[in-house]
Amino acid sequence: MSELDNGNALSFSTIVTPSTLITQDAAFMKGHGTFVEKEKIYSSVSGTVDRINKLISVKSLKQRFVGEIGDTIVGRVTKLSQKRWMVDINSRQDAVLLLSSVNLPGGVQRRKSESDELQMRKFFKEGDLVFAEVQSLFGDGALSLHTRSVEYGKLRNGVMIKVNPLLVVRSRSHLHSLPCQVDVVLGVNGYIFIGKKVEKDKLEDISELLEMYSDTNDEIDELTRSNIARVYNSILILDRMLCRINDTTINCAFELGLPYQTSQLTNSEIADEIAVQVRIKIAST
């Protein structure tokens, strides 16, 4: 075990490896990515030291998603069981979506009956993509989700792409309508959904309609399809070049890619070029 300092906590953004002594000061509390031995705090993962007041944690650069209450995530239904759906959210455990925490057609106030339980597959079935928010945490660390908002629910008219979850930063909004008529749903768990833009006014009354759980796609014209593919490739580039993924960077990469054909974007030289440009642009703002 190497000791990096004497008594004082390591400064923010120091890179540590497992078993590095972070502090001997008993006043600090251990957070994620650390362990305590003989009242000293050591790191248990390699990454950067993060200190919030007296709480010390180590944030690793490559980590599976750890959910917190309020996170907006994109997940895929893997299993149906009693009154609940199990959802793959790129975390160590499947999240739980209870039948009682989804909006059912017929209004928010509707009571869930036994017949709803019998026709759960009508709402979500295996393979479906869900946009949801973390409602609470179970004792074993599993997440409980809810979709009780108009913008949450089943995702359609598009595709999902998986990226490194640390590139998606938690922010106020995770549903972005890009200027190119494409909606991007950035799940903080690293699942990103790209789809056709949903009209805002339609969003309001959609909860009244059965369409909420529909599986059929709208008509998607060729321009939208090609824009979705461009956004898809832009996100692929950002992920590979480890750029932060938010609406600004996606837009930036999208615009830089416009001179090229969609299928050319995955060419390594072009991708390299775009990523460098994106970095410069972000740094300048």
Partner 1 sequence: MSFSPISISETDYISKGIEKNFRLDGRENLMYRDFTVVTGVVSQTYGSARCRLGHLGKGSDVLVGIKAEIANWTPGDPETEAGDIGKIVCNVEISPIAAQFFVGRSSEEFALELSHLLTRAISGPQSGLDFKQLCIIPKQAYWVLYVDALVLGYDGNLIDPLLYATRAAFSDLLLPKVIVESVLDEDTKVEHQAFEILDDPSAVQTLNGWENIPLAATFYIVGKRYVIDCSVDEEAISSARVTVTANQNGEICSVQKGNFKTGLSPSLLGEILTISKKLLPSLVLSQNAKLEQLNLAKSDSSAPETSFTFLNFF
Query: Where does this chain bind partner 1 (CB under 8 A)?
Result: 76, 78, 88, 125-129, 155-160, 215-217, 220, 222, 225-226, 229-230, 232-233, 236-237, 240, 261-263, 265-268, 271
Residue 51 or 230 with smaller CB distance to partner 1:
230
Residue 10 or 228 with smaller CB distance to partner 1:
228
Query: Least distance (Å) from partner 1 to the CB of residue 122?
Result: 12
Query: Least distance (Å) from partner 1 to the CB of residue 280?
Result: 20
Could you give the CA distance from residue 8 to residue 16 in angstroms, rounded to a whole number?
15
Residue 34 or 157 with smaller CB distance to partner 1:
157
SS3 179: coil
For 8, residues 6+ apart whose C-beta sits below 8 A from its C-beta are 23, 25
Query: Least distance (Å) from partner 1 to the CB of residue 271?
Result: 6
Query: Least distance (Å) from partner 1 to the CB of residue 261?
Result: 7
Could you give the CA distance from residue 130 to residue 148 in angstroms, rounded to a whole number?
12
SS3 281: helix
Query: Least distance (Å) from partner 1 to the CB of residue 154?
Result: 8
Residue 114 or 219 with smaller CB distance to partner 1:
219
Alpha-carbon separation of residue 30 from 1, 7, 35 (angstroms): 18, 15, 7
Q: How many residues are given for the chain?
A: 285
Query: Least distance (Å) from partner 1 to the CB of residue 184?
Result: 15
Could you give the CA distance from residue 23 to residue 41 in angstroms, rounded to a whole number?
5
Gyration radius of the chain's alpha carbons:
22
Query: Least distance (Å) from partner 1 to the CB of residue 240?
Result: 5
Residue 21 or 155 with smaller CB distance to partner 1:
155
DSSP notation for 28-90? SEE-TTEEEETTEEEESSSEEEEEETTEEEEEESS--B---TT-EEEEEEEEEETTEEEEE-S
Residue 58 or 238 with smaller CB distance to partner 1:
238
Instruction: Let me know: does 238 contact 245? Beta carbons within 8 Å.
Output: yes
Residue 25 or 151 with smaller CB distance to partner 1:
151
